[in-house]
């Protein structure tokens, strides 16, 4: 909605230049936290990141101004990659004061949509509707309101009349009379303002209130005195305005967001059993016909293909899984990749840099780190494979350990195609096992093994006939 021209039958009219300001400078005192409120996470990412994602669907990032103050550097670092602009509100003297700080940044726009950095459920559709409703009303200020069953803690909307959309004032909970507190229509903290009207009158705000702050909500009464129009647009989806002043509210928002994510995935063809037990982050993708068992966590930017099966109690973070992969219960994965038709688990742990080939198998209690495993290779039991490259069709026996660390440096193990590593072998890196070679069980391999050879690295067995019988007869 940046500056564009629109042709109508009568004439060429200039579409309003619309900006978004996101208030994110507050401390979040009620959370009793060392960390800024807007960086607390819901749906797997900072609350503010959700609000920014919504805003960028309405206006380009360069027209979005995030007002920061408390721990400004941390907030900027956390969401800077989105390309939005930042405005510093060095001292936080209220939501009205936040908009005072943004005066210069917003001066060239016709309209500003104000969003609250602590209310992440608002949808692009509602923001857009608020903006167009505001323009159509020729109002100085339009606020988004909602009817809440429990309006406690929110500002209440005092309408001019029961029928019309005009608003006389917004009364904060602390200042509200007993009668006003019964009003269930609350101020969401989302507004559209005419920029000239806002900055023509913002100087009339005072700090004559419980917190000695400049309340943006008081602009309703200011405009009322100046005989400028203030209207409310009520959302049909009250839950989308919920904020996060308290820990319990953050947890509630997170639960709503995750359940919505599960329902969205189910709409797209994913089966999720007991969805209320699954934790799926907002940015995760899952292909159709994948089945997710109870108590699964899919985190970060994980991408799961189609026709996969994800077993219970698996925690999968920033991992790419191709189609038809079976993840048996209890697996933990971080920054890993799994090619199609592979089987992993139960109880496999894939650490960063694990890259598992097509149709490969990793079994119980197998830990991998920086492992590149080729097609059809297997490591089915009780194994550690770190800094290792494994070719195709390799069998890694139970209890195999790559000794990749000498206490100072990490070293690489290479196991070429078709190798058979006997159970309980240790491979002391750096070491290479050539194509088609065999390692005898329980070997300690310290030197390269040539292709197609057999390597034995263990003491020869000795047998002392009758030794045990003799021992017992000593009793």
* Catalytic positions: 381
The answer to the question of residue 354 lying near ligand UD1 (CB under 6 A) is no
268, 277, 314, 412 from 264: Cα distances, Å: 6, 16, 21, 43
Cα 321 from chain centre: 18
CB 100 within 8 A of CB 199: no
Q: Of 95, 194, 224, 354, which one interacts with ligand UD1 (CB under 6 A)?
A: 95
Nearer to Ca ion, 118 or 218 (CB): 118
3 state SS of 77: helix
Residues 6+ apart with CB under 8 A from 296: 278, 279, 280, 310, 311, 312, 313, 314, 315, 316
Count the residues of the shown chain that bind ligand UD1, applying the rule CB under 6 A: 32
The answer to the question of residue 114 lying near ligand UD1 (CB under 6 A) is no
Give the H/E segment covering residue 82: none
Site mask for ligand UD1 (CB under 6 A), range 272-291, x = bound: --------------------
Place of tokens 């507190």: 181
Q: Of 245, 271, 277, 318, which one interacts with Ca ion (CB under 5 A)?
A: 245
Enumerate helices (H) and strands (E) in the chain, giving the number of each.
Answer: 10, 39
What dihedral do alpha carbons 430, 431, 432, 433 form, nearest 10°?
Answer: -150
Closest-approach residue to ligand UD1 (CB): 155
Nearer to Ca ion, 132 or 245 (CB): 245
CB 213 within 8 A of CB 205: no
The answer to the question of residue 297 lying near ligand UD1 (CB under 6 A) is no
Q: Give the one entry of Ca ion, ligand UD1, none that residue 376 binds, where binding means its C-beta sits below a cut-off of 5 to 8 angstroms depending on kind.
A: none
Q: Give the one entry of Ca ion, ligand UD1, none that residue 283 binds, where binding means its C-beta sits below a cut-off of 5 to 8 angstroms depending on kind.
A: none
The answer to the question of residue 185 lying near Ca ion (CB under 5 A) is no
Q: Of 1, 121, 186, 195, which one interacts with ligand UD1 (CB under 6 A)?
A: 186
Q: How many CB atoms lie within 10 A of CB 4?
A: 8
Q: What does the chain come to in residues?
A: 475
Q: Of 40, 97, 159, 369, which one interacts with ligand UD1 (CB under 6 A)?
A: 97
- Angle, alpha carbons 244-249-254 (nearest 5°): 95
Distance between CA atoms of residues 406 and 399, nearest Å: 20
Nearer to ligand UD1, 117 or 374 (CB): 117
CB 335 within 8 A of CB 349: no
Distance between CA atoms of residues 161 and 179, nearest Å: 16
Beta carbon of residue 348, minimum distance to ligand UD1 (angstroms, whole number) = 42
Site mask for ligand UD1 (CB under 6 A), range 152-181, x = bound: --xx--------------x-x---------
> What's the helix, strand, coil split of the chain in %, to 5?
25, 30, 45
Q: Of 54, 126, 145, 188, which one interacts with ligand UD1 (CB under 6 A)?
A: 188
Place of tokens 């070429």: 416
Nearer to ligand UD1, 184 or 340 (CB): 184
The answer to the question of residue 118 lying near Ca ion (CB under 5 A) is yes
Nearer to ligand UD1, 153 or 200 (CB): 153
Q: Of 36, 94, 117, 243, which one interacts with Ca ion (CB under 5 A)?
A: 243
User: What tokens were used for 117?
Assistant: 């950095």
Site mask for ligand UD1 (CB under 6 A), range 35-74, x = bound: --xx----------------------------x-x-----
Binding residues (CB under 6 A) for ligand UD1: these are: 23-26, 37-38, 67, 69, 89, 92-95, 97-98, 116-119, 154-155, 170, 172, 186-189, 215-217, 243, 245
């Amino acid at each position: 909605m940046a500056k564009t021209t629109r042709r109508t039958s009568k004439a060429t009219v200039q579409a309003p230049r619309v900006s978004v300001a996101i208030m994110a400078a507050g401390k979040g005192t009620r959370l009793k936290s060392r960390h800024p409120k807007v960086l607390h996470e819901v749906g797997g990412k900072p609350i503010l990141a959700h609000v920014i994602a919504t805003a960028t669907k309405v206006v380009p990032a360069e027209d979005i101004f995030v007002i920061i103050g408390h721990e400004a550097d941390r907030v900027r670092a956390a969401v800077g990659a989105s390309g939005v602009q930042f405005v510093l509100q060095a001292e936080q003297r209220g939501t009205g004061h936040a908009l005072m700080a943004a005066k210069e940044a917003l001066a060239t726009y016709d309209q500003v949509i104000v969003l609250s950095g602590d209310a992440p459920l608002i949808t692009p559709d509602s923001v857009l509707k608020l903006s167009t409703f505001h323009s159509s009303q020729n109002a100085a200020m339009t606020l988004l309101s909602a009817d809440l069953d429990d309006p406690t803690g929110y500002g209440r909307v005092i309408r001019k009349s029961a029928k019309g959309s005009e608003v006389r004032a917004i009364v904060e909970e602390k200042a509200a009379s007993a009668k006003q507190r019964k009003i269930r229509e609350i101020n969401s903290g989302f507004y559209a303002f005419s920029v000239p009207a806002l900055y023509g009158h913002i100087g009339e705000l005072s700090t004559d209130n419980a917190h000695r702050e400049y309340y943006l909500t008081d602009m309703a009464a200011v405009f009322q005195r100046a005989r400028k129009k203030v209207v409310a647009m009520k959302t049909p989806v009250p839950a989308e305005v919920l904020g996060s002043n308290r820990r319990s509210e953050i947890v509630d928002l997170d639960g709503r967001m995750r359940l919505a994510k599960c329902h969205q995935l189910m709409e797209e063809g994913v089966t999720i059993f007991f969805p209320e037990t699954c934790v799926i982050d907002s940015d995760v993708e899952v292909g159709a016909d994948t089945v997710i068992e109870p108590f699964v966590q899919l985190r970060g930017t994980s991408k799961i293909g189609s026709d996969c099966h994800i077993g219970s109690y698996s925690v999968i973070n920033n991992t790419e899984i191709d189609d038809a992969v079976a993840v048996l219960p209890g697996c933990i994965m971080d920054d890993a990749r799994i090619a199609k038709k592979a089987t992993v688990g139960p109880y496999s742990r894939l650490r960063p840099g694990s890259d598992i080939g097509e149709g490969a198998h990793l079994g119980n209690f197998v830990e991998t780190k920086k492992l590149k495993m080729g097609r059809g290779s297997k490591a089915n039991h009780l194994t550690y494979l770190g800094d290792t490259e494994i070719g195709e069709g390799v069998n890694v026996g139970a209890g195999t350990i790559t000794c990749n660390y000498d206490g100072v440096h990490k070293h690489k193990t290479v196991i070429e195609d078709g190798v058979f590593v006997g159970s309980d072998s240790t491979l002391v890196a750096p070491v290479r096992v050539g194509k088609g070679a065999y390692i005898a069980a329980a070997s300690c391999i310290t030197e390269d093994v040539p292709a197609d050879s057999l390597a034995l690295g263990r003491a020869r067995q000795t047998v002392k006939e009758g030794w045990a019988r003799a021992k017992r007869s000593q009793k």
